[in-house]
Structure 1
Amino acid sequence: MRIGLVVDSACDLPAGYFEQHRITLLPVTVHIGEATLTDHRNEQATLQFLESHLASGGADAETSPFTVQQIQDLFLQKLVIDYDYVFCLTTTRTRSPIFDNATQASFAILNEYRPIRAAAGHDTPFALRVIDTQNVFAGQGVTAVEAVRLIEAGEGAPKIRARLENLALHTHAYMIAPDLHYLRARTRKRGDRSVSLLSATLGSALDIKPILHCNRGQTGPVAKIKGMDAAAQRLFAFAGDRIRNGLMTPTLCLSYGGALEEMRALPGYDDLRVTCASYNIELFETVMGLTGMVNVGKGALVVGFAAEAHAFA
């Protein structure tokens, strides 16, 4: 059986990984003033757009995910021919309409694929499954890497589906948001009042960096640390502790809202790399997708992994 994988462009993994494993993207388009860029996970284009537009107008940006019709067209024009079964992994539905759009599109796809496959010489059924990863950014990347591993190991679709749906419950993303005023402006634009003006003002004045945790679609603060260097060192050390305690997959994902050289210069990064190598954990590093940077701000740092329930310490 030919099994394919689709993710949206908020999934933070290196562009080369998508190409190597033939992962199809559902791109998100970002509009800042008169400037527009569709996020195809091109790191250089993302960094150029970041420097040119994000600092001045990112808080007022608009994002346009693939519509129901665009998803339907992508499947019917290509994927129902190239594959027999497709897994579509989306960013958490609590933060994006992509899951709902893909689910709605799936009904029409499954009703209309037969003559298209027949014309291409395929007389077998086509199936697809839309899975809410219940996570964001580097956290979403963890689930995608596991899907690739299972597909390339030759596992059947029912086993892959069960594994991914269970893994979504145990995937964690931890993020340092460097600019509370920017984060407040973006959350308010999305109708979220979780970051108050007072907390943003006090946090910025005192150089406080919150560490946010996303799991099962819910996001909230787990720590507040003074200074970006101290916050990064704390987060990297915590990730190392989770590795030593045992992860559910041999994968750690990092994404950063800027050039990776900046992330690699943060305190604690080198120790985390050594820990990953010592415990045979594959480390993925990428510039954060444009969609993520627009929503959380330049310089954000995210760590993603899968593990049993735990407390941030």
Structure 2
Amino acid sequence: MRIGLVVDSACDLRGSFIERNHIEILPITVKIGDAVLADRRNEQATLEFLHSHIAERGAEAETMPFTVEQIRDVFLQKLVIEYDHVFCLTVTRSRSPIHDNATQASFVILNDYRPMRTAAGHTSPFALRVIDTQSLFAGQGVTAVEAVRMIQAGEGVAKIRARLENLAINTHTYMVPRDLMYLRSRTKAKGDKSVSLLSATLGSALDIKPVLYCNRGETKPVAKIRGWDAAVRKLFAFGVERVRAGLMTPTLCLSYGGELEEMRLLPGYASLIDACRDARVEVFESVMSLTGMVNVGKGSLVMGFASDPHEFKE
């Protein structure tokens, strides 16, 4: 059976990994003033955006995920012919309509695909499963990497589905934002009141950096640490602790809102890489998606992995 994989562009994995493993991207369009940019997991295009004057107005950006009709077209024009079964992994539905759009599109696709497959000489049925990763950014990457591993290992559809759905509820994503005032402006523009003006102002004045946590679609602060270096050092040290305790998959994903060389110079990074090497955990690094950077600000650091429940200790 030919099994395919689809992710949206908020999934933080390098473009080379996505291309090498034939992963289809559902782009998210970013509109800032008169400029319209399609986020297709192109690191160079993302970095050019980051360094351009447009990035200064990022808090005003409008992000537009693929509509039901656009998702339908992607599948009917290509995927129903190339594959027999497709898993579509989306950013948490609590933060984006992509999951709901893909789910609605799946009903139309399963009603309309037969003429396309018949014309291509395929008589077997086509199936599609939309899975909410219940995560975002680097956290989404964990589930996608595991899907690739299982597909390449020749695992069956039922086993892959059960594994991915289990990982979705056990994926943990942590982020340290660089600029609280930017994050507050962005959340306000989206109608999200999770970062108040007072907390953003006080945090900026005192150089307090929160550690934000996402699991099962819920996002909340789990720590407040004074100083950027101290916050990222703590996050990396926590990553070392979790890796040594044992992860559910041999995967740890990192994404950064800037050049990866900058991330690799952050305090605590080398220790995390050493711990992953010793535990035979593969590290997947990527420039944060354009969508992610617009939403949380440049310079933000994100770490994702799958493990048993735990607490982040300051």
Q: Which interval holds the TM-score relative to the shorter structure?
A: over 0.9
Question: Deviation above 3 Å: which 4+ runs of structure 1?
Answer: none
Q: Which runs of 5+ in 2 are unaligned?
A: none
Q: Which residue of 1 aligns with 2:220?
A: 220
Q: Give how far 1:55 is off.
A: 3.7
* 1:27 counterpart residue number: 27
2-structure distance, mates of 1:56, 1:289: 17
C-alpha deviation, 1:40, in angstroms: 1.0
Cα deviation digits, residues 216-257 of structure 1 (max 9, x gap): 000000011111111110000000100000000000000000
1:93 CA displacement = 0.2
Match status 1:184 vs 2:184: yes
What amino acid is aligned across from residue 189 of structure 2 in structure 1?
K
TM-score by length of 2: 0.99
Contact 1:252–1:303, Cα closer than 8 Å, also in 2: yes
Are 2:234 and 1:234 aligned? yes
Give me the whole-angstrom Cα distance separating, in 2, the residues matched to 1:149 and 1:16: 16
- Structure 2 distance, partners of 1:140, 1:18, is 13
Match of 1:249 in 2: 249
SS state of the match for residue 255, structure 1? strand
Alpha-carbon shift at residue 289 of structure 1 (Å): 0.3
2:174 aligns to what? 174
Instruction: Quote how far apart the aligned CAs of 1:54 are.
Output: 4.7
Q: Which residue is 1:264 aligned to?
A: 264
Aligned to 1:147: 147
Q: Name the TM-score, length of structure 1 as normaliser.
A: 0.99
Matched, 1:95 2:95: yes
Instruction: Count residues with an aligned counterpart.
Output: 313
Tell me, what secondary structure is at the counterpart of 2:275? helix
Q: Give the partner amino acid of 1:248.
A: M
Give the deviation of 1:14 after TM superposition.
0.8
Given that 2:103 and 2:130 are in contact with CA atoms closer than 8 Å, whether structure 1 keeps it comes out as: yes
Q: Could you tell me whether the CA contact under 8 Å between 2:176 and 2:300 is conserved in 1? A: yes
Q: Give me the whole-angstrom Cα distance separating, in 2, the residues matched to 1:118 and 1:53.
A: 50
RMSD of aligned alpha carbons: 0.7
Contact 1:32 1:53 in 2 (8 A): no
Alignment check: 8 A CA contact 2:170 2:306 kept: yes
Letter of the 2:223 partner, please give it. Answer: A
Equivalent residue, structure 2, for 1:59: 59
Q: Which range moved further: 287-296 or 177-186?
A: 177-186
1:287-309 Cα distance to aligned partner (Å, 9 max, x none)? 00000000000100000000000
Equivalent residues of 1:210, 1:222 under 8 A apart = yes
Identity of aligned residues (%): 71
* Partner Cα distance (2:205, 2:90) in 1: 36
Equivalent position amino acid for 1:57 in 2: R
